Amino acid sequence: MQYSFELEGQALIVTLRGELELHTSPEFKETLTKLFETHSHVTNLIMDVKGLSFVDSSGLGVILGRYRELQERGGRLFFVQANPQIKRILQMSGFQKISEFANSASDVLERI
Amino acid sequence: MTSTNWIKLEIPSDTRNVAFARTAVALFASQLDWTLDELEDIKVAISEAVSNCVIHGYGLQEGLVKIEASYSGPELRIVIEDFGRGIADIEEAQEVGFTSFPEERMGLGFTFMHEYMDEVLVSSQLGKGTTVTMVKRVRDSES
């Protein structure tokens, strides 16, 4: 799996590519946690999942864990460009209750 | 060509092999006439079952995971077995949100298996291991 990060004000934009699952999620978790520690002003997490080809409960658990960290800062979680399969598993996992879906990161940045 | 076929895999309980297992079994399953979404569903279900073997069955330690996949006509059957710790309470383990690692796990593995497959049967013995049998049938596109 590949991922990249971009800081925009109080938002951290994470672009994911590949598969987020049991083997790939620990490193991703560690990287995100360090970024949250380093950039304590970040309150909004924007996950660009256009290039995410597969996610399961191991990957979703990592995202949920980071959301909980953000929640303590009063932050919000966004998913952008989720394909129908990814959107379905996110909705089945209850992410629609704690996050918002958008068409692009720039749409979210205008909104927040 | 017969309408039956099968494969058997034996893999070490290594996190790297979860992706291999789901890809290999999905490739086998693709011999049947699934939609792309259904094939993705099958991959998620396999991923959850094999991840359970690695995390819960063997606690991320060394162990053997056996996978058998077969079909007869439109019915795909996948059996995933470990010889690890076993599950004390199978009913509780399949409840939505149940997890023995609440910090990072969502407790949705069995939920996804039940959602994405037509049948899921779990048998387990403490100290001996766990077997998950999953069945999914190709829908008749005319119905």
CATH number at residue A34: 3.30.750.24
Could you tell me which residues come within 8 angstroms of residue A92 by beta carbon, excluding any fewer than 6 positions away? B108, B111, B112, B115
Helix B16-29, helix B36-52: angle, nearest 10:
140
Predicted local confidence at residue A62, as pLDDT: 94
pLDDT at A32 over 90: yes
What residues of A are in contact with residue B37 (Cβ under 8 Å)?
A: 84-85
Residue B143 lies in a domain: no
Asked if A74 is an interface residue toward chain B (Cβ–Cβ < 8 A), one would say no
Catalytic choice (B40, B68, B75, B105): B105
Predicted local confidence at residue B84, as pLDDT: 97
- Amino acid occupying residue A76: R
CATH code for position B82: 3.30.565.10
What residue numbers bound the domain in which A106 lies? 2-111
Domain count, chain A: 1
Residue B118 lies in a domain: yes
CA distances from A41 to A80, A108, B67 (A): 22, 17, 47
The alpha-carbon gap from A109 to the nearest alpha carbon of chain B, in Å, equals 28
Do residue B51 and residue A22 have CB atoms under 8 angstroms apart? yes
Domain count, chain B: 1
Instruction: State the average pLDDT over residues B117-138.
Output: 97
Least confident of A10-14, A102-106, B139-143: B139-143
Least confident of A56-60, B21-25, B71-75, B138-142: B138-142
The alpha-carbon gap from B143 to the nearest alpha carbon of chain A, in Å, equals 23
Do residue B43 and residue A54 have CB atoms under 8 angstroms apart? yes
**Model pTM score:** 0.93
Query: Which pLDDT band holds residue B96 (cuts at 50, 70, 90)?
Result: confident
Tell me the torsion sign for CA atoms A61, A92, B109, A24.
negative
Angle at A35 between CA A29 and CA A37, to 5 degrees: 105
pLDDT in tens, A33-66: 999 999 999 999 999 999 999 999 999 999 999 9
Residue B142 lies in a domain: no
Predicted local confidence at residue A93, as pLDDT: 92
Residue B98 lies in a domain: yes
Contact present, B52 and B81 (Cβ < 8 Å): no
Instruction: State the average pLDDT over residues B5-25.
Output: 98
pLDDT in tens, B39-83: 999 999 999 999 999 999 999 999 999 999 999 999 999 999 999
Could you tell me how far CA B24 lies from the centroid of its own chain?
A: 12
Q: Which residues of B51-60 are buried (b: 16+ CB within 10 A; e: fewer)?
A: bbbbbbbbee
Maximal C-alpha separation, chain A:
35
pLDDT at A76 over 70: yes
